[in-house]
Copies of this chain bind each other. A is one copy, B any other.
Amino acid sequence: MTRGNTRQRIQDVALELFAEQGYERTSLREIAERLEVTKAALYYHFRTKEDIVVSLFKDLTRPIDELIEWSKQQPRTLEIKREILCRYQEALSAAAPLFRFMQENQATVRELSIGETFKERMIALIELVQEPGSCMTDRVRCISALFTMHAGMFFTQNVEGDPEEKREAILEVAIDLVTQAHHRSQSQTETPWARRNETGLTAEP
């Protein structure tokens, strides 16, 4: 009758509700009702409630894993870093509801056998846009760049303006941050005496 797409439909509705109300506030009854199936049907497709989240996570997280994998293969040039940020943004918006969910249900997700996995990914990415051995400030800059993109989810919903314009602005700021960190570290290594000079942003003429 409904043909093999039920599993997919469960995932869709579940994600929608999880993102909207949170994981614990969303009951399987609710999901089932919205799908006009019985609770038991959900259990035909997923072993537990947690399993639904895990499946969502796996399905939608793949792009990021691929990005990490790809990045590891690349040289750590500024060009590549830019590309990483750009692709990360794409991955985030492709899976926007999931990431919104992940962000807004961290406490829950942390106990959900995928939490660590997500944090690990973030740390992996941070390290990939960061020069090894760079100073604390630059490490913060890189973290900040990634969080800026996450902030985008919030930003996109709560601040007025053209979405596309916002997207570009977010990317620009993130790239700025990583660029600064990149240059400072480069100069730090190659020409330490130039350091003060490069700090740039705070010391403007």
CB pair A136–B169 under 8 Å, yes or no, is yes
Residue among B21, B177, B183, B202 making CB contact with A172, cutoff 8 Å: B202
Interface size, A (range)? 35 or more
A169 touches B139 (CB 8 A): yes
A13, chain B: closest CB distance, angstroms:
16
Contact A144 to B151, CB < 8 A, known contacts A111-B21, A200-B204: yes
Question: How many copies of this chain does the complex contain?
Answer: 4
Q: How far is the CA of A109 from the CA of B179 in the complex (A)?
A: 36
Q: Which residues of chain B come closer than 8 Å to A154, judged between CB atoms?
A: 143, 147
Tell me if A124 is interfacial: C-beta within 8 Å of chain B: no
Closest 7 CB pairs of A and B: A22-B107, A24-B24, A104-B106, A176-B201, A104-B107, A136-B169, A147-B151
